[in-house]
Amino acid sequence: MATLCGIGVGPGDPELITLKGWRRLQQARVIAFPAGRQGRRGIAEEIISPYKDPQPIYLPLEFPYVLEEEVLKRAWHKAAEQVYAYLAQGMDVVFVCEGDVSFYSTFSYLAAAVRALDPHMAIEVIPGVCSPLAAAASLGVPLTVGSDRLAILPAMYHVDELAQVWVWAEVVVLMKVRSVYGQVWQWLKEHHLLAQAAVVSWATTPQQQIYTPLTNYPELTLPYFSLLIVWKRRLRFNPV
């Protein structure tokens, strides 16, 4: 029986692929991944490129960057049909995704859409290093210690959401911070937190950028692959 296997290939540095993920990639006959934009490779495809072998079939899948539920559902269904065409022939398919496959990943929707086509389809998940952990490592700071409560906001539409979690969390990670950075910077300033906050873009890749303390960065034009971390108290290993 064929298996759909989601592999988290880590935040960018190809050496952060797990041994298990790497082994499965080497055995794979069909490797699917989110298609890139404007003729460029997507990040997961880029991460596995040092290991690309001519043998497997490479299957780029289109996932539009939109919020409309109906458009997304159609894209997941179409991608599931493309993947299922191989699975139905008994061929395993691996789907590679940046970071971890269970952490805000397209794989979750793809797997659900494949299960909708075939409720008995075997699905396996190989975890990967997710971006907040990679960013903390790049900063040389533990993400959490002791009894720290960690809040992760996947996308923020208003700074009030940060204020609400800051009441109870010792550490807050803001994913997809690019579009709200200006508002967040202002809020951090008002709460005297700029010195305890950091932004990491393209963590672990050659384009990695670190901005900390944020006091000096009221305005930043950030890439999509950026996140912000703010700590109530910050421990440092390295003088970043």
Ligand X SMILES: C[S@@+](CC[C@H](N)C(=O)[O-])C[C@H]1O[C@@H](n2cnc3c(N)ncnc32)[C@H](O)[C@@H]1O
Distance of closest approach, residue 222 Cβ to ligand X, in angstroms: 9
Residues 8-37 that bind ligand X (CB under 6 A): 11-12
The residue with its CB nearest to ligand X is 99
- Site track 51-80 with ligand X (rule: CB under 6 A), x = hit: ------------------------------
Q: Are 84 and 115 in contact (CB under 8 A)?
A: no
Q: Exposed, middle or buried by CB within 10 Å (0-12, 13-18, 19+), for 91?
A: middle
Distance of closest approach, residue 89 Cβ to ligand X, in angstroms: 29
Q: Is 157 in the site for ligand X (CB under 6 A)?
A: no
Q: Is 200 in the site for ligand X (CB under 6 A)?
A: yes
3-class DSSP string for 11-35: CCCHHHCCHHHHHHHHHCCEEEEEC
Considering only residues 83, 226, 231, 234, which one is a binding residue for ligand X as defined by CB under 6 A? 226
Select 86 or 201, whichever has its Cβ closest to ligand X: 201
Report the b/e string of 100-119 with b at 16+ CB within 10 A.
Answer: bbbbebbbbbbbebbeeeee
Residue 18 DSSP code: -
Considering only residues 59, 87, 94, 175, which one is a binding residue for ligand X as defined by CB under 6 A? 175
CA distance 216 to 194: 9
Considering only residues 79, 130, 153, 194, which one is a binding residue for ligand X as defined by CB under 6 A? 130
Considering only residues 224, 235, 236, 237, which one is a binding residue for ligand X as defined by CB under 6 A? 224
- Site track 85-104 with ligand X (rule: CB under 6 A), x = hit: -------------xxx--xx
> For strand 150-153 and strand 93-97, is the pairing parallel, antiparallel, or unpaired?
unpaired
Q: Which two tokens stand for residue 34?
A: 């989110």
What CA dihedral angle connects 10, 15, 20 and 21, to 10 degrees? Answer: 50
The three-class DSSP label of residue 16 is helix
Q: Is 172 in the site for ligand X (CB under 6 A)?
A: no
- The contact set with ligand X (CB under 6 A) reads 11-12, 98-100, 103-105, 130-131, 134-135, 175-176, 200-204, 224-227
